A = this chain, B = another copy of it.
Amino acid sequence: MPAKFSVPKSNSLNVSMIVIGDEILNGRTSDLNGSFLSRYLFKKGLHFKSLRFIHDDESDLIKALDDSFNESDIVITSGGIGPTLDDKTKNILAKYFGKKIIERQDVADVVTKNYSQFGRNWTPSQNFYHHFPKDFFAINNPRGLAPGLGFFDSDKQKLILAGPGVPREFTEIVELEFFPLMKKYFEKRLVENYQTVIRTKNIPEEKIFYELCPTLWDELSVFGKVSSLPHTIGIDIVISYEGSLKEHENKQKKINEHIQNSKLSSFVWQYGNVPINELVLKKAIDKKVTISFAESCTGGLTSSKITDLPGSSQIFMGSIVSYSNDTKTHLLNVSSETLKNFGAVSIEVATQMALGALNEFKTDYAISLTGIAGPEGGSEKKPEGFVVIGYASKKKNGARFFQFPGDRIRRKDRFSDMALLTLLELMNDLSE
C-alpha cells in the first residue's frame, strides 16, 4: 500500500497566517490564535494554506510576508500591534508596502472609539496609535484598545490584515471585522468546506485500516480527503470536501450508511463531531434529568468540562472531589470495609462512589471515577493509566474499567471524556 501523492487541490481562496512574537517560539505561551483561525476559516470555506510562527524581528517578518503572499491571497498577522517597544508590526508593514507613517485624525477616531468601549478616554499623549501608515485602513478592535491594520493592494489583488495577539481580542476582530473585509474584496471566490466525522472507540488505528477494513480508506476517498486522527476516546475518521450544504448532507448520509454497513460500525460512538460534553448537556436537557459526579483521579476535571458550557447549571448539581479515602467514606458513604478489601481503585468502590453522589446530590444520574493517573502509584494488576468508572441511576448501578496511555495530564483528559461517554450511554439506555 504505497502512499499516494495526489491530493485534491483546493480552488478556494488561500489564506496564510503569521503569528508574530518571541513568546511562542521561546516556549512562554501556547498559541491559541492559529488554532482558532484554522477552525474559523474552515467553517467559512477559506483554505488555510499555511501558518508561520516567527520572532519579533524585522527581516523574519519581511521574509514571512514574501513567502505568505507568494502562496496566498490574504495574509493575516497576529501580534505586535500594542503600545510597547516590542510591538513592531505597524512599522514593518508600512515599510513592506512602501507607505510612510503619518499622523491621522481618522485613525485617532478609531482609537477613541476603542477606548470608549471600556469607558476610557484616549489622548495622543498616551501612545502612538494614531501614527499610522498612509493608505492603510484602521480596524476597530471590538475587545481591545490597539487598532487593527488593513491594506488592499489592488494591483496584485492581495489583502493584509493585522490583528492583536491577545486571543480574546484576535478572535473577536476576525469575526466582526476581518471576515467582512475578506468578503468585501474576494466575495466571488468564496466556496464552502465541509467534513463528515466518524468517531470510534476501543480499536487502534492500525487495526481499523489493516485488519478490520483494509479497503475502507480507498472507499472513503471517493467522497473527499480522508484523515485518521487519534482523539481522547479513540480514533476519529474525517472526510473533508468542498461543495454546497446540500451536497454535504448527501455525502454525509452516504458515508454514514457506508460505515453502518461495515465491520467498523460496532466501534463507532458518534456519527458527527460534537464534543462529548455538549452531547451530555444536550441529552440531559432533552431528558430533563440532573447529573452529578464523584471524582478521585480526575480531581474535578469532568465537572469542569461540563461547566465549560453555558446552560450547564440547568442539569449539573455538583460534584464531590474525593482525593482522600477519608473523603470517600465521610462524604460519599463508601464503606471502609470495601476500601480495605478491594482498594480505592476497584469496581466495588467506584460503584459505591457513584451511589454516594446520586444520594448526596439527589440527581437522576451520577458518574464516579477512581484510577491511577500516574506517573507513579500503579501495580502490576492496576498499572498507571488504569481507571474504573462507576455509574448509578435509580434503576441500575455498576462500574467498568479502562486502560489509557499518556502522561498524567493526558490521562486525566481521557479518563474524564470516557466518564462523560459512560454517562451519555447510561442516559441513552432504553431500559432507563
Known: A168-B405, A225-B22, A307-B299. A50 touches B54 (CB 8 A): yes
Q: How far is the CA of A209 from the CA of B406 in the complex (A)?
A: 43
User: Is B323's CB under 8 angstroms from A316's CB?
Assistant: yes
Residues in A295-352 with C-beta less than 8 Å from chain B? 295, 297-304, 306-308, 310, 312-313, 316-324, 326-327, 330-331
Partner of A229, one of B28, B168, B205, B410: B28
Q: How far is the CA of A38 from the CA of B23 in the complex (A)?
A: 9
Name the residue on B nearest A54 (C-beta): B50
Tally A residues with Cβ within 8 Å of B: 119
Determine whether A41 belongs to the interface, using a CB cutoff of 8 Å to chain B: yes
Which B residues lie within 8 Å of A4 (CB)?
85, 88
Known: A230-B166, A327-B317. A35 touches B24 (CB 8 A): yes
Q: How far is the CA of A167 from the CA of B231 in the complex (A)?
A: 11
User: Is B42's CB under 8 angstroms from A27's CB?
Assistant: yes
User: Is A5's CB under 8 angstroms from B50's CB?
Assistant: no
Determine whether A56 belongs to the interface, using a CB cutoff of 8 Å to chain B: yes
Determine whether A179 belongs to the interface, using a CB cutoff of 8 Å to chain B: no
Which B residues lie within 8 Å of A226 (CB)?
85-86
Determine whether A91 belongs to the interface, using a CB cutoff of 8 Å to chain B: yes
Determine whether A29 belongs to the interface, using a CB cutoff of 8 Å to chain B: yes
User: Is B26's CB under 8 angstroms from A48's CB?
Assistant: yes
Which B residues lie within 8 Å of A64 (CB)?
50
Determine whether A206 belongs to the interface, using a CB cutoff of 8 Å to chain B: yes
User: Is B27's CB under 8 angstroms from A38's CB?
Assistant: yes
Q: How far is the CA of A55 from the CA of B408 in the complex (A)?
A: 30
CB distance from A4 to the nearest CB of B (A): 6
Name the residue on B nearest A83 (C-beta): B206
Interface flags for A360-376 (1: CB within 8 Å of B; 0: not) read: 11000000000001111
Determine whether A145 belongs to the interface, using a CB cutoff of 8 Å to chain B: yes
Additional 16 contacts, C-beta under 8 A, given A56-B227, A85-B218, A303-B321? A24-B51, A26-B193, A49-B55, A50-B53, A51-B53, A86-B226, A86-B228, A297-B307, A300-B301, A301-B301, A310-B375, A317-B323, A319-B319, A319-B320, A327-B361, A331-B360
